[in-house]
Homo-oligomer: A and B are copies of this chain.
């Protein structure tokens, strides 16, 4: 596993409020399908509905689920790498909260929780190309 983070997704209860908040701080992003993507250095900071994020990680948002409302993502260049890393994490003691499967955006992803429940989505997303050094530059998501 390369030492890098591709996305930080903040689960939010009111997307418009959160988007306005970060815009008040000077951030500018792209909103697509009720998701806001901000380029933040070599990664993407994402605002997404908290319930959707929990479900996407294989958890629910109820109390006791341990869902902290935030997830890190580590993107890879192939489905095979996703499978291999999830297996490595499982062997290292992670809990696989969502086995790898095709995603609605045409990618392939699964999730694990580290020993304290911190969530990592391990993903191959052909729409978000990685540079050679592993950094992620968001494409133009708003063009048809």
A11–B116 alpha-carbon span in the complex (Å):
8
Find out whether the CB atom of B39 lies under 8 angstroms from the CB atom of A116: no
Q: Which chain B residue has the least Cβ–Cβ distance from A72? A: B8
Oligomer copy total: 2
A1 on the interface (CB 8 Å rule)? yes
A59 on the interface (CB 8 Å rule)? no
Find out whether the CB atom of B116 lies under 8 angstroms from the CB atom of A45: no
Which residues in A have some Cβ–Cβ distance to B below 8 Å? 1-5, 8, 10-14, 17-18, 21-22, 24-28, 38-43, 45, 50, 68-70, 72, 85, 88-89, 91-94, 114-118, 133-135
Q: List 16 A-B contacts (CB under 8 A).
A: A1-B26, A3-B39, A3-B41, A4-B40, A5-B8, A5-B41, A10-B118, A11-B116, A18-B114, A21-B92, A21-B94, A22-B114, A24-B93, A25-B88, A69-B117, A70-B118
